[in-house]
Amino acid sequence: GNEILTPPTSGTILPGITRKSIIEITHVLGYQVKERAIPVGELFDAEEVFCTGTAVGDTSPDKREQTVGQKLYEMLTGIQLGRIEGTR
């Protein structure tokens, strides 16, 4: 689908710059971002799972090519390295 879920920025989730950048990029790519609590068991049934953070940028345990996580990673690093113009 075109929906990306993210947990709210409370508890252990920080409102970081990488997270904010990924959310902005997902909108540019036409995805809807919904913020809600995500039970761990729900992750096993998800089409795709990826995590973001300053140290890793965006990483996914899924090794398929051209996953949403991979597209987001490529755009994020392209913007960071000046190969792609930013979303603003």
Single pTM value for the model: 0.69
pLDDT tens digits, one per residue of 56-88: 655 565 666 668 888 888 888 888 888 888 766
Q: Give Rg (Cα) of the chain.
A: 13
CATH 3.40.50.150 fits 3-80, yes or no: no
Q: pLDDT value at position 64?
A: 60
More confident residue, 31 or 73: 31
Going from the C-alpha of 87 to that of each of 10, 48, 82, the distances in angstroms are 26, 24, 12
The answer to whether residue 42 scores a pLDDT higher than 90 is yes
Q: pLDDT value at position 36?
A: 95
pLDDT tens digits, one per residue of 6-27: 999 988 888 988 899 989 999 9
